[in-house]
Each structure stands twice: as C-alpha cells, then as structure tokens.
Structure 1
Amino acid sequence: MSEKLGLIVEDSLSEIYVFNADTYEFVLVNRGARENLGYTMDELRELTPWDLKPEFTREAFVRMVEPLHAGAERFLTFETRHERKDGSVYDVAVKLQLIRGDDDVFYAAIEDVTERKKVTEELRQTNRRLDAILNNTKMAVFMMDDRQHCVFMNKAAEELTGYTLEETLGRPLHDVIHHSYPDGRPFPLAECAIDSAFPQGNQMEGEEVFVHKDGSFYPVAFTASPIRDDAGQPVGTVIEVRGIAEDLRTREAMRAFNETLQQRVAEAVAEQRKAELQLAQAQKMEAVGKLTGGVA
C-alpha cells in the first residue's frame, strides 16, 4: 500500500514537497517538481523551502508557518515564486499543511501557475485597453447579457442617460431608460426594436426616444448588435447610442428652409407665368390695334 501511495505521489501532476517540520529539510520531492526545478533528489535534500523561494527569508517562512505548528490553522494557501537551478523563476500556488506523526512533516502541493498568470495579465491588459477605448469614445455603449440585463455602460452612456453603471447593473435596460412613450404611455418590451436584436439574432438600427434620469425625454439613434459565442449563438447585445437632438433641430431647420425655398420658387414661377401672360396679352392687343389702324 505504501509503495502504491509513493507511486501516486511520484506521478502526481502537482509538484509535491515533503519537508521536516523541525529542520525544514526536504524528505521527498516528486518527479514533476524535480523536473521543473532541474534538481536531483540528492541535491534537494541539501536545500530548504526558502532556498527555492527568493521572496522568503528563513525568518519570514518560519513565521508564516507558525499557525500550523500552533494548531491555529489546518492549512495555508499562498502564491509565490520558485527559483530553478538555472536561476529562472516561475509562479506557483501553494497549499501547505502539517502532518503529525512520529516525525512531523510539512506536505506542500504546488501548482505552476505561470501560464495562468500570463493569461490573466494579458486579459487584464486587454480589458484596460478596451476600457480606455470605450471610455474615451463619445458614442454611448451599453452591453446586455442573455437576460437583457445591463452588464456594462461606458462614461458616455452615463452622461447621456444620467445614470451610473452601478445604478443600472443587473437591471433590464429597457426598464431604466426606455420604459415610456413621450406621451406617458408605457412602452412594452415586446415593441422595443432594440431588445429584439437578441432574440432575433439580427442587427437592428433606428431612432428612438429615451427617458433621462431626470424624467425628460430625448431622441437617440441606435445600433443594437447581438454578441455571439464561439458556436455562433447569441449570448448578449451591444448597443451603440448617440443623442440626435441637435441633428433633429438641423433636420427640421433644413426641412423648413426647403419648404420656404420651394414656396418662393413656386411664387417666382407663378409671377413669371403671370408676367408672360400679361406680355402675351399686351402683344396681342398691340397687334389688333395695328390691324384696326391699317384698315381705317
């Protein structure tokens, strides 16, 4: 049985370290740990945990494990770095416990988390870049999950709506900023073109009227696009919105200008037509007069 347990420890995917609870000298280090570190078992027997952990001194390590000696804690978990024989380092997550017996030993199960931390840092940097882009654009951007609940809005969206992200987080966006018509009638979700982008799986564009936090209404242009997973299934919606009050005023001014211009053109054409008719009438009368005078 002990031989089988030894094989299990030796072949474990985790790095396993067993060291004396008094001298802190390594008693057993499994294959995965030895290969990652580059040390032989004989070399490791001459080392202690802080020899592998450049972030720890002997005093700091002994102080950290004191709660295990005292029985105040059953185990400790922490992250640090291990130094290989060649001087390179890698990130590790450690779970450490004290096993009591004839000779008390510490048992450490350690995971190499270098790749995980690298991916986490890359994701953090990507999120920072995304936040910088989204929070520096003048376009209001909202993101909704598969339940049509708000999970993100940028600064431009906060300025446009009067709401903060904290006030809208986890709430149906329609219920916050699109719940009523300007005449006060409730705006049913089923009639909302923006929210139909998710169930229909199609991009929707158009113009709507939103409700500001202060109760006022304001016109917007929107584009609502479904967010899809790797399988192509919609998992949320991203909504781009911009206020178009100034656009509508410009549009109305242009419409009024065009109407006035058309009216003036029509009046000018009518005046010209009237003048042409008067000229033709005068020419006709003149011709009649000449004809009458010649006969006399």
Structure 2
Amino acid sequence: MSESTPGMRPREVLMQSGAPRPELTGEEALLLDRTHVLFLALDRKGCVSRWNRAMAELTGIPAAAVLGQPLPLSVFAEESRPMARSFFSASTQQSEATIELEMCGLDGGRRRMAWSRNGSPLDALAVVLTGTDITARHETEMRLRAEEAQARLLVEGSLGMICTHDLNGYLLSINPFAAANLGYTPEELVGRYMLDFMDVEHQHGWQSYWDAMAARGEEEGLLYVNRKDGSLCVIAFRNKLVQIPGAEPFVIGHGIDLTEKIEAEEKLRALMRQRESILESVGDGIYGLDMEGRIVFVNRAGAQLLGFTPEEMQGQPIHRLIHHSRADGMPYPESQCPVLATLHRAGPVRVRGDVFWKKDGMSIPVEYVACPLTHDGRTTGAVVAFQDVTERRQLDRMKDEFISTVSHELRTPLTSLRAALGLLSSGALAERPDRAEQMLDLAISNCNRLVFLVNDILDFERIGAGRLHLDCAEISAEELLREAVQRQAASASRAGLRFRVDAEPVRLWVDGGRIQQALSRLLANAIKFSPPNTEIAVRAQAVNEKEALIEVRDHGRGIPPEMLDSIFDRFRQGDASDSRASGGTGLGLALCRGLVNLHGGRIWAESTVGLGSSFFLTLPRAVSAFDKPMS
C-alpha cells in the first residue's frame, strides 16, 4: 500500500489505490479515526462495518456498539430518517449521491451534515459514506435567504418607488408600487430605456446626473417622467452607485412621488396669488391680526391710506401704531379698543365715527368691521376692513349745502311768484296796468328760473344714469356762440357787462341744444362773478382736423389754484356763500362737464386770482358726410 498523505479526505484515502483490497491497513484506519469528517461504511448486508471517532463523538455511540449492527437511524432527526433510510440502503451501493440531513448531537443540539455516498474499493465493504458538518454554512445561507426574502418584501411592499438601472440607463428592476404608480407592471418596465419616459424639455439634467454618479457615486433631485396615460409624474429621487466585486456595477434608486404635493402647492400658490390680487384690487383697507394684536398682513390700499408701506406695518402692534388716540387727541386705552376686543369675542364688531392715525401724525375718520378668525372652534386672530370716510363726510356736507342752496333757490322765486300773483289776483293793481304788467313779467321770470333749476337737476341725473342721448348735427361755431350770447344779453346788460365774440369759420358736429345749455351755464357764471363795465370774451378756433376749441373768458375775481380741479365736481362752488350771494346749486359746472364729455370733448379752467378766469372746452368738428358719427 502506498503511503497516504496527511489531511487527505477519507474517500481519497480509500481510493489511493484503484485495485480492490480485502481490508484497510492499520495506517488508513488510524487516519480515518483522526479526521474530523464523519466516516462510516456498510457491508453488503447493510450493517455497519466502519464507524470512526468523529461519528462516535457526534452521536455518543462508540464504534463497538454499532459494528456489525444495522445503521441506527435514531442518530438522525426524525424528519430526516426516511431520507436517511433510503440514502444509506445497501441496495443503492453502486450509485454515487449526496444529501443534506439533520443529525442529533450528543449535547442534544442539531447539526446539519452533507453526506456523500460512494461505492467501496474494498471487497468487504458495499458502500462508503462521508459526512461534513455544514451547520454554520447552512445557518448562514438560511439567514441570507431570510434577509433576502425580507428585503424583497420590503421592496415589493414599500410605498416608495425603488428601482435599479445599469450604467447605460436601462431599468434592471422596479418594485410593484413604483410600476403601478406609473400605470405599468414591473415586467413592462424592466429593460426599458429611462429616457423613453421623459419629454425632451425634462431631459436637460440627464448628463449632469451621470457626471454626479461618476464624481460622487450618488445624486439626488427631481425627475419628471410620463405615466402610461400621458400625465406627468414628479419624483424626488436619491440614487447611489453600487459596486460589488465580481459583478457588474449598477445604480439603486429610491424615490417619492411628489406630483400631488406639487399640484397642491401650486393650487395653494394660486389661491395665495388670488387672495393677494383680491386684497390689492380692493380700494378699502384690510389687515389681519394675530392673537397678540400684531399685524400679520395688510393690503397695499390700507397701508397707503395710513401713509405706510405694507412692510413697515408688518409685525407692528396695531393699537399703538394707528389707534393710540381718540379724535380729540386723548389717549385711547387698549382695554377699550374694539379691534382688540374682537380677539376675545365670538362675533364681528362694526364701528363708525372712529379715527386711525397716519404715519405723518394726522388722523383720518374711518368706519371699520372687525371679525374674529376661528379654526376648530378656537379664535386664531382677526381681520379688519376699514374705509376712509373723509370724502363721504365732505360729500355729506356738500349735500347739506346743496339742499340748503336748492331750498333757497326754490323759495326765492316761489316767494316772488306768489307775491306777484297775489297782487294780481287781489285786484290791487287793477287801476295800474303798467304795474300789473311788471308783476306778470316777474312771475314769468321766476317760473323760468324754476324750470331752469329743475331741468339742471333732471339732466344731471340723466347723465349720471347714462340716459341722456344726443341729437348731433352740423352747426357753425360762430352761430352757436352768438345764439348763446344773445340768450344772456339781457342779464349782461343789467349787470353792466358786454360780450365780444371772436369765432373762426369752424363747423361743429354737436347737439346744438345741449352745447347751448353748457355755454349758458358758463356765460351765466361769468356774468355772476364779473365786475361792472368789463368784457366777457367768447371765441372759437380750430385745434386740428378733428377738434375745435371754445373759450369763455371773464375779468372776475378768479379761482384759487387749489380749486381748479374740483370746481367741476357736483355740489362744488368757491364756497357755500357763493351760491347764497350769487345764486346757483353747485351743479352747473358738473353739468357742463357731463355734456362736453358726452360729445367726446374735454373741459377745464385756467385762472389768476384777481384777474379773471378762462373756461375751455373742446368739441368735435364736422367731417365729410361719409365720416359723420352717428348720434
């Protein structure tokens, strides 16, 4: 027998010589006893003929107890015994095979063994079996399988989007959730090129993505891909390059679908823009407060009314900023502030007759409504909408003056009319026909004055309601001016005034009656405020092919510069005493502006105090018959 090499496996020991032999040598038997590999041999009757020390140590059964006996299956775990019976059967002695079986150790623990079965080169043996302890390897494999299964479940059951792709951009795998989110199955996506799912405008970051992978091995950002139905899906991703020795590198990616979040944010931004647009388009002031009474927002109109910018008011305590004092300058205690009280009340508060203080220290009269803001039944702040009522108060004052003036204007001619008619009806002037005729003239004059006043009021109302229509025709400017002057000639003569008409040969396309109405008001005003023995000039000239300019100039006391823009407003005169001293309702110039505007023209005044005033109005010139505008 050739000398065996230390560390050889039992099978290698037996197969060292290929010729069949009747028995093991002593050296071979010693070597098999010293190896840690399990070794047993069965004779042709299926009885144990070899049982090395490793078998004895594992099972606790000495060789002497089993030699010549059938193989004790009790050394195998119960579930492994049927397979062991078949595997160790002598009838299969000619076939080589391997199997893994659970064996019961002496300490009560289980060991996983990998058995190999081979035919024996010895005449006395039918089959040789060797076993290797693979418990640790088996446990490692089982743990790896469990971890792999767990990882697979985590990936497949994840509500995130998980995928892998190769370094050419082709998908290697994708979890079901991600595929379903895009409208596909995983099988439809694996192997597809990623750029196939992106529009051209969303491919601009593709190269920078690969540059980052090459430089850092990872990248994150937003990915815009198309779903199967064509809708856009926005994914926030974080990808990492994976390099495993012996395997092709790949990229694993994790993503979150932000589409709904981005759409919701865009809707929120749209609502915010809409809210800001509404706040900015409202002429009233609007501001919001937190529970400490500090301003959290204010629209631009509100800030401008108070002389601030919105940024200056942001975060400021409202009471100390604009509501610290009453109208008379006395301090306004915070405990009595209606705005702050709203923070602790269930309903809105409406306040009239209050004042807010501007940045420059001036106060403005205001009316406001303060409403609490609630969330889940809890007050979180308040919103206040306020109006500067300065103009309204001025308008109310002008209305009061107008009513007083109109009452005076109505009472005066009515009194004269009643007196004249009373004298006539009593017969007191029967013997004095000349005096009776004067009374009739007086009655007619006062009737005309009343008709004039009522027509002014009615026409002004029609213009405001858009119900005053024009009946335009071609007319000479000189003819129009001379007719207007003729109507006021008697009044001018009584006041010791004279007219001068200077008109270029200009033809106008106007409603003659309405322009006469406007010119009569301008000439009447000139007569009222001109000193005796002065001249009122009326002239007309062409401005261009489409417009003509008419001017009425007097040498009266003039108009203060600060009033030149407001005298055309309704109920406006120099002051209330003008109407009382010279007559008038305060509607004359406003009516003139309305009539001129209806013709598409403009009206304005220029004046020097103490030297007189000039009133200008532009009117459309007549054009060819084919180009004349419709009335």
TM-score, with length taken from structure 1: 0.75
Cα offset, 1:4, TM superposition: 0.3
Aligned partner of residue 253 in structure 2, secondary structure: strand
The question of 1:67 aligning with 2:224 is answered no
Q: Which residue of 1 aligns with 2:197?
A: 52
The question of 1:187 aligning with 2:332 is answered yes
CA contact (8 A) 1:141 1:240 kept: yes
Q: 1:56 to 1:90 in 2, by over 3 A?
A: closer
CA contact (8 A) 1:219 1:244 kept: yes
Cα root mean square deviation, aligned = 2.9
* Structure-to-structure mapping, 1:68-147, within 5 angstroms: 68-71=213-216, 75-78=219-222, 80-84=223-227, 86-102=228-244, 103-147=248-292
Q: Which residue of 1 aligns with 2:39?
A: none
Q: 1:68 to 1:174 in 2, by over 3 A?
A: farther
Q: Which residue of 2 aligns with 1:159?
A: 304
Distance 1:213 1:25 in 2: 66
CA contact (8 A) 1:140 1:154 kept: yes
Distance 2:347 2:154 in 1: 53
Distance 1:87 1:106 in 2: 27
Distance 2:224 2:293 in 1: 43
Distance 1:122 1:41 in 2: 32
CA contact (8 A) 2:213 2:241 kept: no
Aligned partner of residue 174 in structure 1, secondary structure: helix
Aligned partner of residue 382 in structure 2, secondary structure: strand
Question: Structure 1 residue aligned with 2:350, among 187, 205, 214?
Answer: 205
Q: 1:56 to 1:258 in 2, by over 3 A?
A: closer
Cα offset, 1:182, TM superposition: 4.7
Task: Give the counterpart letter for 2:347 in structure 1.
Answer: N
Aligned partner of residue 24 in structure 1, secondary structure: coil
Cα offset, 1:34, TM superposition: 1.5
Q: Which residue of 1 aligns with 2:106?
A: none
Distance 1:135 1:246 in 2: 21
Task: Give the counterpart letter for 1:33 in structure 2.
Answer: A
Q: Which has the larger radius of gyration?
A: 2
Task: Give the counterpart letter for 1:83 in structure 2.
Answer: N
Distance 1:109 1:25 in 2: 16
Unaligned runs of 5+ in 2: 1-146, 408-631
Q: Out of 195-204 and 93-102, give the one that drifted further.
A: 93-102
Task: Give the counterpart letter for 2:379 in structure 1.
Answer: P
Distance 1:200 1:39 in 2: 56
Cα offset, 1:74, TM superposition: 5.0
Cα offset, 1:50, TM superposition: 1.8
CA contact (8 A) 1:10 1:30 kept: yes
* Regions of 4+ moved over 6 Å: 252-259
Q: 1:192 to 1:258 in 2, by over 3 A?
A: farther
The question of 1:29 aligning with 2:174 is answered yes
Q: Which residue of 2 aligns with 1:214?
A: 360
CA contact (8 A) 1:138 1:156 kept: yes
State the Cα deviation string for residues 93-149 of structure 1 (Å, max 9, x = none). 322221433144323222233322333333333333332322222211111223322
- Matched residues, number: 255
* Percentage of pairs with the same residue: 26
Q: 1:56 to 1:138 in 2, by over 3 A?
A: closer
CA contact (8 A) 1:96 1:106 kept: no
State the Cα deviation string for residues 235-272 of structure 1 (Å, max 9, x = none). 1211010012233445567889999x9xxxxxxxxxxx
Q: 1:132 to 1:15 in 2, by over 3 A?
A: same
Distance 1:169 1:217 in 2: 20
Cα offset, 1:56, TM superposition: 4.1
Distance 1:254 1:87 in 2: 67
Task: Give the counterpart letter for 2:359 in structure 1.
Answer: K
The question of 1:16 aligning with 2:162 is answered yes
Q: Out of 134-143 and 60-69, give the one that drifted further.
A: 60-69
Distance 1:38 1:193 in 2: 58
Distance 1:254 1:152 in 2: 37
Q: Which residue of 1 aligns with 2:374?
A: 228
Cα offset, 1:87, TM superposition: 4.6
CA contact (8 A) 2:372 2:381 kept: yes
Task: Give the counterpart letter for 1:245 in structure 2.
Answer: T
Distance 2:188 2:224 in 1: 19
The question of 1:238 aligning with 2:383 is answered yes
CA contact (8 A) 1:140 1:157 kept: yes
Q: Which residue of 1 aligns with 2:320?
A: 175
Cα offset, 1:5, TM superposition: 1.3
Distance 2:275 2:202 in 1: 36
Q: Which residue of 1 aligns with 2:520?
A: none
Q: Which residue of 1 aligns with 2:71?
A: none
Greater relative contact order structure (CA < 8 Å, 6+ sep): 1
Q: 1:220 to 1:5 in 2, by over 3 A?
A: same
Unaligned runs of 5+ in 1: 262-296
Distance 2:340 2:202 in 1: 55
State the Cα deviation string for residues 203-260 of structure 1 (Å, max 9, x = none). 111132111011111111110001122x22211211010012233445567889999x
Task: Give the counterpart letter for 1:64 in structure 2.
Answer: Y
CA contact (8 A) 1:225 1:239 kept: yes
Distance 1:56 1:187 in 2: 61
Q: 1:89 to 1:148 in 2, by over 3 A?
A: same
CA contact (8 A) 1:26 1:46 kept: yes
Distance 2:320 2:155 in 1: 57
Distance 1:87 1:111 in 2: 19
CA contact (8 A) 1:50 1:56 kept: no
Task: Give the counterpart letter for 2:240 in structure 1.
Answer: L
Distance 1:246 1:44 in 2: 71
Distance 2:257 2:315 in 1: 36
